[in-house]
């Protein structure tokens, strides 16, 4: 592997401590100082948090002697961005199903504009748009949380939504997949309002009533353009019963990593097809490479096995979507897929002007067909509220009024006491609060704590959580975090098992986090080029595993194991 983590002791963010024997040959080892191991015992720490702080009733409204400002009043988030409020914008909603051309038409207007910005919820979408604009001779910068690719003379930017600059003025702006971006759009991470003459919002028709209602208070002119699907999508009346029914262009959708590799192996054992795979925890670069390989009609990888990660961000030439199940574990419970989820995934079949102009969709199990058919006939449920999160400015002002409180307790009080209008809810901050509990144990300023808390850490992943903790601890001590003090070089090799692959995917997340932090704290995280290089090595190793993997025993399509529900 590319790395060995310098010590063998492993402590999870939830207080799960274990010691690995050297002969267990774990691929990754973290160097954890005793202090880090102590504050990583998050489960005990959060249970005792109330005891640490006492049970006092706090003046969360700021109406005590220090302030008369109600920090919990989030009823008017549009007022947080006065620069954008000075402009009367033209807002165009482009709404319709997958493969309807809504984003295409918005991008055409972006290309014609003198300056502009595209904002997408995924790095894959930002990459695709930057590539498209530059190919069309419209110089375009690419800016995501993990990269900045600046093009000389560019007046256009393609960014992930949290990187949008609300202080700049644009002729045209696009927010894509608005139903996925609503948690950011009006408040979270300073992305409430883009300062542009024209604002194009692309997404599901289910967002229209909410967006129209929200924009009533901004004074913007609103126009709604509705699109129909450009190519047919045919729900089949019979299921796919065996591997012999799999054909070129098929995409088998399942919801666990283990079943993805089992299905891949089953299909390839039959000898007729090779499979590309796409799922959420694969690095974006690997997902793009796998999609490109599947789309290339000249190679033998003509079947795709994937999770719902194909729902957005990838252009795929899929003939038929096959659902292995219509249930998934969402991190809390096993539930049926929603109408919106089924339509988003099914709609990936039959891409307009592809080699498969007519899309088909079916299931592995006959009993799932009625839910599939009814969902495809139903409109998506109206989205009634948008996610909202207090800005750093609000958190900072509250902290000044209550200097003894840590970030965890401040976030907790915002969640419990925030005053909201009927259009908003407080975004899920559970993972952010876990991260806040960790950094509150360190001698960091609130601004530094906030930066770590909003970083793209997968705090529920053991390796990612330990990397996050080590970065924060080292930064608090010396203000300089050297990558090689945490990750050391080792023999580079392809992972041999799915467990080793999962570890490699996790270490890629740690490197991604380092790059993200280095773009914001450049002097303190000086090894960005090293981290980027090692990310590339990880991508290559993952690709080699995916090409060579024959290690999982196949299971027949009719097996009840296909109905298992596991979290990615």
Residues near 193 by beta carbon (within 8 Å), at least 6 away in sequence = 78, 81, 84, 85, 166, 186, 218
CB-side exposure of 106: number of CA atoms within 13 Å?
34
Residue 96, SS3? coil
Are 530 and 485 in contact, with CB atoms under 8 Å apart? no
Residue 58 pLDDT: 38
CB burial class (10 A; 0-12, 13-18, 19+) of residue 70?
middle
* 235, containing H or E segment: strand 233-235
Superfamily name and number for 233-377:
P-loop containing nucleotide triphosphate hydrolases (3.40.50.300)
Say what the alpha-carbon torsion angle 406, 411, 414, 420 is, to the nearest 10 degrees: 150
Strands 233-235 and 359-363: parallel
Tell which residue, 230, 291, 95, has the closest CA to residue 175: 95
**Model confidence over 24-38: pLDDT tens digits?**
344 444 544 544 444
CB burial class (10 A; 0-12, 13-18, 19+) of residue 52?
exposed
Instruction: Return d(Cα 148, Cα 69) in angstroms, integer.
Output: 38
Residue 190 pLDDT: 37
Residues near 508 by beta carbon (within 8 Å), at least 6 away in sequence = 283, 535, 538, 539, 542
Instruction: Return d(Cα 386, Cα 206) in angstroms, integer.
Output: 12
Are 318 and 304 in contact, with CB atoms under 8 Å apart? yes
Instruction: Return d(Cα 433, Cα 405) in angstroms, integer.
Output: 14
Residues near 442 by beta carbon (within 8 Å), at least 6 away in sequence = 39, 449, 472, 473, 476
Taking 3-state DSSP, the helix, strand and coil percentages for the chain, each rounded to the nearest 5, stand at 40, 20, 40
- The reply to whether the predicted model has a pTM over 0.85 is no
DSSP 349: B
Instruction: Return d(Cα 244, Cα 271) in angstroms, integer.
Output: 10
**Model confidence over 322-337: pLDDT tens digits?**
999 999 988 788 999 9
Residue 78 pLDDT: 66
Question: What are 149's strand-pairing partners?
Answer: 142
DSSP 14: B
Instruction: Please identify every stretch of the chain with a pLDDT value under 70, giving residue numbers as ranges.
Output: 1-69, 78-87, 182-193, 488-493, 549-568
Instruction: Return d(Cα 429, Cα 46) in angstroms, integer.
Output: 15
**What are the distances in angstroms from CA 357 to CA 232, 277, 392?**
7, 22, 48
Residue 18 pLDDT: 29
Residue 423 pLDDT: 86
**What's the alpha-carbon Rg for the chain, to the nearest Å?**
24
Instruction: Return d(Cα 492, Cα 479) in angstroms, integer.
Output: 30
Tell the CATH topology of 77-226. Rossmann fold (3.40.50)
Residue 331 pLDDT: 76
The number of beta carbons lying within 10 Å of the beta carbon of residue 51 is 8
Strands 140-144 and 147-149: antiparallel
Strands 9-11 and 233-235: unpaired
């Amino acid at each position: 592997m590319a790395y060995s983590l310098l010590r063998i002791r492993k402590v999870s963010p939830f207080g799960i401590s274990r010691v690995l024997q050297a002969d267990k040959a774990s691929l990754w080892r973290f160097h954890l100082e005793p202090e880090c191991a102590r504050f990583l015992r998050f489960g005990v720490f959060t249970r005792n948090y109330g005891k640490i702080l006492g049970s006092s009733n706090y003046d969360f409204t700021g109406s005590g002697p220090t302030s008369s400002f109600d920090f919990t009043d989030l009823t008017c988030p549009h007022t947080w961005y006065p620069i954008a409020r000075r402009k009367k914008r033209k807002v165009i909603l482009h709404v319709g199903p997958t493969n309807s051309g809504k984003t295409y038409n918005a991008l055409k207007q972006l290309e014609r504009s003198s300056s502009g910005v595209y904002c997408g919820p995924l790095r894959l979408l930002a990459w695709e748009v930057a590539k498209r604009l530059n190919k069309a001779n419209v110089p375009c910068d690419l800016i995501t949380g993990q990269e900045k690719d600046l093009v000389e003379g560019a007046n256009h930017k393609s960014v992930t939504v949290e990187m949008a600059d609300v202080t700049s003025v644009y002729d045209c702006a696009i927010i894509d997949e608005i139903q996925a971006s609503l948690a950011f759009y009006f408040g979270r991470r300073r992305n409430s309002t883009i300062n542009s003459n024209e604002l194009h919002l692309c997404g599901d028709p289910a967002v229209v009533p909410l967006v129209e209602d929200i924009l009533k208070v901004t004074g913007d002119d609103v126009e709604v353009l509705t699109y129909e699907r450009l190519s047919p999508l045919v729900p089949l009346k019979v299921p796919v019963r065996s591997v012999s029914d799999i054909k070129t262009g098929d995409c088998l959708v399942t919801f666990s990593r283990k079943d993805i590799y089992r299905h891949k192996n089953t299909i390839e054992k039959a000898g007729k097809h090779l499979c590309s795979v796409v799922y959420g925890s694969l690095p974006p670069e690997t997902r793009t490479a796998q999609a490109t390989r599947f789309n290339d009609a000249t190679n033998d990888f003509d079947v795709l096995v994937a999770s719902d990660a194909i729902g957005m961000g990838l252009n795929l030439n899929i003939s038929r979507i096959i659902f292995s199940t219509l249930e998934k574990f969402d991190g809390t419970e096993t539930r049926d897929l929603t109408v919106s989820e089924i339509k988003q995934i099914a709609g990936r079949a039959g891409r307009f002007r592809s080699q498969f102009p007519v899309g088909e969709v079916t299931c592995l199990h006959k009993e799932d067909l009625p839910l599939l058919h009814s969902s495809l006939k139903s409109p998506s449920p109206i989205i009634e509220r948008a996610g909202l999160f207090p800005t750093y400015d609000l958190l900072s002002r509250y902290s000044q009024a209550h200097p003894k409180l840590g970030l965890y307790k401040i976030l907790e009080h915002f969640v419990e006491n925030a005053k909201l209008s009927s259009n908003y809810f407080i975004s899920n901050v559970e993972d952010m609060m876990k991260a806040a509990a960790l950094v509150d144990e360190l001698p960091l300023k609130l601004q530094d704590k906030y930066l770590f808390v909003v970083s793209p850490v997968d705090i529920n992943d053991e390796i990612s959580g330990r990397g996050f903790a080590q970065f924060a601890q080292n930064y608090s001590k010396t203000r300089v975090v050297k990558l090689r003090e945490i990750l050391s070089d080792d023999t580079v090799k392809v992972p041999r098992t799915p467990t080793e692959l999962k570890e490699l995917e996790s270490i890629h997340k740690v490197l991604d986090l380092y790059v993200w932090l280095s773009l914001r704290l450049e002097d303190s995280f000086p090894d960005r080029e090293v981290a980027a290089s090692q990310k590339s090595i990880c991508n290559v190793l993952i690709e080699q595993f995916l090409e060579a993997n024959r290690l999982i025993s196949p299971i027949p399509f009719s097996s009840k194991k296909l109905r298992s529900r596991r979290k990615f």
